[in-house]
A and B are shown apart, each in its own frame.
Chain A
Amino acid sequence: MSTPTGGSVATPRPFLTAVAWAWVIVPFGYGLYQLLIKIPALFGS
């Protein structure tokens, strides 16, 4: 792994970034869905 030198500009890593975010968003989405389906009961009656 190299240490950067002056003047460099980052190039995006779209595939790695997409995989990394999917790794955390998919389980988070599952948890969020499980939570959201409980909320309608609060306004049910």
Chain B
Amino acid sequence: MAVRYLDSSRIVAPACWSRWLVPPAALSVHLAIGQAYAWSVFKKPLETSLGISGVASALPFTLGIVMLGLSAALFGTRVDRNGPRWAMFISMCCFCSGFLISALGVSIRQYWLVVLGYGVVGGIGLGIGYISPVSTLIRWFPDRPGLATGIAIMGFGGGALIASPWSASMLIAFGATGTHADPVGIAKAFGIHGIVYAVFMSMGWLLIRVPADNWRPAGWIPALQPAGGLISDGDVSARNAIRTPQFWLLWVVLCFNVTAGIGILERAAPIYSDFFPRGTGLAAAAAGFVAILSLANMLGRFVWSSTSDLLGRKNIYRMYLGVGALLYLAVTLTTNSNKVVFLVCCLLILSFYGAGFATVPAYLRDLFGTYQVGAIHGRLLTAWSVAGVLGPLIVNAIADSRIAAGVTGPGRYTPSFSIMIGLLVIGFLCNEFIRPVNRRFYEPVPERASGEVVSAP
């Protein structure tokens, strides 16, 4: 009975349903699971209270991101089949159980339970939650898919903004900071996170609706849409999509775009300190630099993804990759000679990084149709997992070796920036090679429904 309640057949929207109720439902999930990027708040308290190393305290987050990619790829088809309410509910159960298991683990001083709870169980919640609203949003906003997915995926970037100060203030209130952090305080904080996020995410699965099969926005006529050469008029299954060159070209595009963004994001504070070491309040200025990059990352997801509805997906990726390479080149050449140029370049690079995530579901919709776009998106997110390892590896390995060689200032990072330029150029070329999907991959056309339902935009 309860399982049936979650089925997509039970959440077909009535004609009076506004599609503008769908983005907040999606945001309530993405703003919650975006907490993952605020994990660093828990690192020091866990290290001091349980006596674990920095590597061990990072393990739940690392495992969580790996599980995000794996679960999105493995459960993507099931998410498309069972619908967004099922996916959001399962995501909530896994994500919040992860916190509760972690609370138990800290309270009984068994750190492996934190790794299992937050990293594995919570990580599955991250993956299912990340892809849960994507295909639904695309179906509700066929006229503006970039805008719709941009709003939701901006939420994932915004989740850390909420969680970081909230978690930090909770840990202070429970005496779980400093050299004598109280494990009970950390356990309490984990427990409260689990409960509060369960309530917050519930709005998502209670409110989410899918449009009727024959629904379309008022005034929108598919045949009159600007016919970009890449936009398919058929649907491709997830199984067939991974057999197309388009999928793998886009996989490389996403992987290298993310890797390039992580190049700055991974070591933002040290990069700023090494580029502009003079002046008082360096730590506060570096923190301000990290904050402004987070803002660019978040706004880029919304602004550029929405712009892609006007410019076309291929053109916007030309900008992310081509202009991104030029911006990296500008930073490499000007180094610290002009702070304004440095800041503008870094902000744009980070905005393109976030936008790459937000625009890709609409690009997939253009290429493969809406049939299993959630599942295809899930499989594509393995590129994120690879980039999550590749980006930090390149930047940290080069920076550490340069520091060991006694190099100071921007010279610590310019070699890795040059590699990022190369990766972006390769990504640019891959984007150029993307052509419309061959019709032999299309699914058989279903019988057309007779009635058509029109809704206010």
User: Which of A's residues lie within 8 Å of B, judged by CB?
Assistant: 1-13, 16-17, 20-21, 23-24, 27-28, 30-32, 34-36, 38-45
Contact = CB atoms under 8 A, between A and B. Distances in A.
Contacts of B15: 4-5, 8-10
Given A6-B452, A23-B28, A31 B162 contact: yes
Contacts of B12: 1, 3
Q: Is the interface of B mostly helix, strand, loop or mixed?
A: helix
B27 A4 contact: no
A24 B287 contact: no
B390 interface: no
Contacts of B343: 42
A12 B15 CA distance: 10
A38 B283 CA distance: 11
Given A4-B14, A4-B215, A20 B284 contact: no
Interface string B428-457: 000000000000000000000011111110
Interface residues on B, range: 35 or more
Nearest to A43: B288
A12 B18 contact: yes
Contact of A45 (B155, B279, B452): B279
Nearest to A24: B27
A24 B288 contact: no
Contact of B453 (A4, A11, A12): A4
A39 to B, nearest CB: 5
A44 B292 CA distance: 14
A43 B385 CA distance: 35
Interface string B157-168: 010111111100
9 nearest CB pairs, A to B: A42-B288, A31-B161, A8-B15, A6-B451, A4-B15, A41-B284, A31-B162, A10-B455, A20-B24
B18 A38 contact: no
A12 B163 CA distance: 32
A8 B281 contact: no
B112 interface: no
A36 B200 CA distance: 24
Given A8-B453, A45-B280, 16 more contacts: A1-B14, A4-B212, A7-B454, A11-B16, A17-B20, A23-B28, A28-B155, A31-B166, A34-B164, A34-B165, A35-B161, A36-B295, A38-B290, A42-B291, A44-B284, A45-B285
Nearest to B272: A42
A5 B215 CA distance: 10
A5 B164 CA distance: 46
B31 A28 contact: yes
B327 interface: no
